[in-house]
Structure 1
Amino acid sequence: MTYCVGLRLRRGLMFMSDTRTNAGVDNVSSFKKMYTWERKGDRLITLLSAGNLATTQTVVSMLEERHKTAGERDPDIYEVPSMFQAAKLVGDTVRSVIREIAVGGGFKSESSFGATFILGGQIAGGESRMYLIYPEGNFIEATDDNPFFQIGEHKYGKPILVRAYDPDMSFEEAAKLLIVSFDSTLKSNLSVGLPLDMQTYETGSLKRGAEKRLLASDPYYQAISDGWSEALRQAFQHLPNYEGLEQAD
């Protein structure tokens, strides 16, 4: 399993992903789930992936391969004119890959090869945009009413995002919010694991922003993890006890 988040802020976009791909009793493995295509001054496109690893890797490889064979009929992620077209390209590629794997392997169901993606960034001449792309190839866009996307094991980390997200957050505040969200997920689900990859994109810059890989030994990560646990314990102690459990005579 995995956990990835894309945040839409007034300042720009922020992305975070874990790297856990397998968490058996004696088989724990990691793999990068964040990919970026950049041409400074023209475009910055970041993709987060969750789902079947073979599917996600094939999708990324096909997007890279199409760039190497530029000039042929297949569209190229470095040449599409808008983020909408970039989302359509990824969606079409996902649908094609899943169908090819299922049919080529003689499988009756495509659901076992499903993959979901978060795509965000900006192309010169357009606005900064972010999309959630489904295994069927269709997608939706982040809006003021739906300002962040989660894929993978999202239920444990969603409450803090819903309660504390603010579009006017700085990148530094958003990083703290995402780390709390991921820490809550890590403590609740073995299938999500460190290290965590984080990236920022400032609207209008048309280049990648700050990037960071957080390890379990990272002092800031440890401070947030321990501080959040203690803050929750203190908040719980300050809540009033329930007084409706008196035994009847």
Structure 2
Amino acid sequence: MKVVVIGGTGLIGSKLVGKLNEHGHEAVVAAPTTGVNTLTGEGLAEALKGASVVVDVSNSPSFADDAVMDFFRTSTTNVLEAEAEAGVGHHVALSVVGTERLQESGYFRAKQAQEELIKASGIPYSIVHATQFFEFVKAIADAATEGDTVRLAPVKIQPIGSDDVAAAVGRAAVDAPVNGVVEVAGPDAFQLDELIRAALAAKNDSRTVVADEHAPYWGAKLQEATLLPGPDAHIAETKFADWRAQQQ
């Protein structure tokens, strides 16, 4: 089966391409470096010829509100139009658990817009909602840092490893379209500020982490369960402690 991976050179995309190829599928990397530009449409028609599935794991190069909205609207529209022309039977996209609850954030408004375009396209689809990646713990800390202080809401988070995310997206790609959302999360829930505090300490990072219930998360205020998956989520196996030990 030919599967075109939009964003196939990124963290999730590169892992996904490897997993698909290992299982005997023809995974095609679609990225600017391979001559496919979803913002201009360059190379899309050629890449999608004969494809059964298109998986979009791309991300905006800028998180500024206007730029990220323009990226996801333009890119998704171009990809969906090319899929319709090519007769692609399944569109798979990676999004984020809690997207619909994080609409104060420009980034998550853009992800919601992407999802709405997919749902309205008429192309059978599967949207995979993943919790935050282990690999982005430092980015969460950096975004919440003022001086030497990291302010984070003391709410629950259930992070997941990127290998497990790639596996979940791969399963969605080879299965029948669900025409809905499936969730995937890591096995353990943490309090956000405690997770970041422990992660920084493990790296001998001297920043002070402060629990602040009003602290925004990428621009959005959080409630206790905003970042948590629902009861039907697929729970991955890799624990944060085991992943961190591997990194060291």
Higher helix share: 2
Bigger radius of gyration among the two: 1
Tell me if both proteins adopt one fold, taking TM over 0.5 as the criterion: no
Q: Structure 1 length normalisation: TM-score?
A: 0.30
Structure with more of its chain in strand, by fraction: 1
**Greater length-normalized contact order (CA 8 Å, ≥ 6 residues apart):** 1
With normalisation by structure 2, the TM-score equals: 0.30
